[in-house]
Amino acid sequence: MNFLTPLAFWFALLLPAVVLFYLLKRRRVLHVVPSTLLWERFLAENQANAPFQKLRRNWLLVLQLLLLILVILALARPYFVGEVRSGGLHVLILDASASMQSTDVSSSRFEQARSKALEWVQGMKEQTQIVVLEVAGQTQVKQSPTSDKAAVVRALNSIEVTDGPTEMKEALKLAKTLVQDRSNAEVHLFSDGAFPDLEGLELEGLPLVYHQVGERGRNIGLVSLDVRSDPKNPSQRALFAKVANHASESVETEVELYFKDQLLEVRTLSLSPTNSTSTMFQIEQPEDGYFRVQLPYDDDLAADNQARIVSYLPKTVRVLLISEGNRYLERALRQAGNVELSVASDFTSGQDSYDIVVVDNVTPSVWPNANLLSFRSTAADWFDQVEGMKTPPIVEWDESHPLLRFVSFDNVQVTEGLRVKTPGWAQSVVESTQSPMMLAGERGRRRIVWVAFDPLQSSWPLRISFPIFVANAINWLNPAEVRESKLMVRAGEPLRYPLMTDATSAEIAHPDGETDQLKIAPNKNEIVFGDTAQQGIYQLTVGTNQTQFAVNAINPEESDTAPKDELTFGQYRQVEASEVRQANVEIWRWVALAGLIILLAEWWYYHRRTV
């Protein structure tokens, strides 16, 4: 309890004065009378010769003291700090992403956020309409607009934390559509703010209240995992793992590598503050299965301390080279590893047994249906317009793309090439000042890599980056590698797996043993499965074929568990964390009313005693 005018307590000095009046005796008065017979009672009351008398129990004194105390309290204007509770529509967003599993607070951030949300709901007015949204890998409406608090409580208690990321943009856009053009509408977000910046999201005028949870960001986690085969030894695998330290102090941790449940190797990593370190394991893989990397480190978030990747033993890749003669390209293809190469001058129908077709500066009679690597050759429907260009300089390339891993175009000169505009089915991975020089994408469920120039009309075949690119391209275009790459899914993202045979149904077993039955529509050539909130190994069964796929909580934004004190929207707007908005709830009127009741009680008691 607080007081607006605490100086009113000086009036408490009047309390002893009231008591003093009850201690004083009445003053003696002399009267001359002819006889004392009628004055004996009066004389008895004036026998005392002291100015004070013993304080006796007197209800009038008690009532007068209580009345004075209440008057002083009313003058001091006491108040309690309370929360503002407005009517209208309120959208409640509860973050259920992986970072909310952090245990830097009691139980977890998620449980703390849910408790705060439940407390907030109980303080709302009865007529308030509340919508409950769960945000993780996707946004779900857990409760449509209702003023039934019991229904809102059930919706909040039904939400479970996931291993997925926070797709906050989708949730806020949905909340924006719900509250726009409504008076007294608010959006309440209960989260730790551990998600990508919202700088590209313009939500001007969104009435957002950010309830922040979490206290610190002491966490390390796996942020990348990949496995590759050794071209010279198909049974030898190279596994790359990247570990990030998001804490402000140095960390030393062990990294354990398992094949299925068998421990293969343990090594120690030293991580500097707010930095990441990569490590590589070279191991023998005896059979198809999955690898698991584990960090046995006690930090705030355990979800990102492990990751799995499915790995199949490599199979021979059947490659057809259509060329009029290019010994540099042919040699690079043969050295790509595990490649069965055939060379021809043209492609005709009936040659669809190849996994990859490489077209080198020729136009085949029939374009194959296999995955393609094309140098300076285009099909009629790939581009709207094709023009020639002279000596285009290569100025930029995307080193993060799998095609360009360890590939550099420094000191690569091109004599001539083709100028095109990047189509919708492809992305540019190498750029010149005039046109894209290399495109990669998927068209008609077939992967295509298109190079705008003939390698023989450039200095590229003389650089070490050329055979590295060819090996990367064979790996990226290999149908088996394409299918295998789809067997590693981030939690919250859907699995998209191509079907090898016709099927009408499939079964997926979750890591916890639960199963889902899927119906496959006719003429569908892939399976789409979205219930991937839990990390672990899933089992996909289609007919007699069984395939495992891994779901991981690998996400750099979720691993960085430092709670944000403010959220940034668009270019200028920021929303600071605020537990509740406070209001002063004064109670002096109730105190004054109690004083009036005491005053009436004193008046009644006095007259009752004297009657």
CATH code, domain with 510: 2.60.40.10
- Distance in Å from the first CA to the final CA of the chain: 42
Residues 92 and 228 in one domain: no
Which of residues 256, 290, 313 is at a domain's end? 313
Residues 461 and 325 in one domain: yes
Residues 321 and 462 in one domain: yes
Residues 129 and 161 in one domain: yes
Q: Residue 472 to residues 333, 335, 356: CA-CA distances in angstroms?
A: 11, 12, 13
- Within-domain flag for 518: yes
C-alpha–C-alpha distance, residues 478 and 470, integer Å:
12
CB 279 within 8 A of CB 267: yes
- Closest residue by Cα to residue 531 from 101, 113, 140, 193: 140
Q: Please give the radius of gyration of the chain, using alpha carbons only, rounded to the nearest integer.
A: 40
Residue 67 Cα to chain centre, angstroms: 58
Tell me which residues of the chain have a pLDDT lower than 70. Answer: 1-4, 18-31, 33-61, 79-87, 200, 203-204, 230-232, 234-235, 350-351, 570-573, 578-586, 588, 606, 609-611
- Closest residue by Cα to residue 291 from 394, 222, 390: 222
Residues 338 and 381 in one domain: yes
- Within-domain flag for 198: yes
CB 147 within 8 A of CB 107: no
CB 473 within 8 A of CB 404: no
- Within-domain flag for 139: yes
Residue found under tokens 């009532």: 63
Residues 262 and 378 in one domain: no
pTM exceeds 0.75, yes or no? no
Phi, psi of 179 (to 5 degrees): -100, -10
Helix, strand, coil share (%) of the chain residues, nearest 5: 25, 35, 40
Residues 301 and 347 in one domain: no
Residues 146 and 237 in one domain: no
Residues 575 and 593 in one domain: no
Residues 127 and 36 in one domain: no
CB 264 within 8 A of CB 227: no
Q: Tokens for 417?
A: 């090439």
Which of residues 461, 483, 505 is at a domain's end? 483
Q: Domain holding 479: CATH number?
A: 3.40.50.880
Q: Residue 229 to residues 257, 287, 317, 472: CA-CA distances in angstroms?
A: 17, 13, 13, 12
Q: Residue 487 to residues 168, 313, 343: CA-CA distances in angstroms?
A: 26, 14, 32
- Within-domain flag for 245: yes
C-alpha–C-alpha distance, residues 69 and 88, integer Å:
41
> In terms of DSSP H, where are the helices of 360-517?
465-477, 479-485
- Within-domain flag for 557: no
The count of structural domains within the chain is 5
Which pLDDT score, from 0 to 100, does residue 22 have?
A: 64
Residues 136 and 94 in one domain: yes
- Closest residue by Cα to residue 563 from 195, 110, 119: 195
- Within-domain flag for 256: yes
Beta strand 139-146 with 129-135: parallel, antiparallel or unpaired? antiparallel
Domain around 89: 85-215+563-580
Which of residues 447, 463, 483 is at a domain's end? 483
Q: Residue 564 to residues 202, 215, 469: CA-CA distances in angstroms?
A: 19, 10, 41
Q: Domain holding 198: CATH number?
A: 3.40.50.410
- Note the pLDDT tens digit of each residue in 551-592: 999 988 899 999 988 887 766 567 777 654 444 556 767 777
Residue found under tokens 């190849």: 354
C-alpha–C-alpha distance, residues 226 and 296, integer Å:
20
Residues 475 and 428 in one domain: yes
- Within-domain flag for 558: no
- Within-domain flag for 247: yes
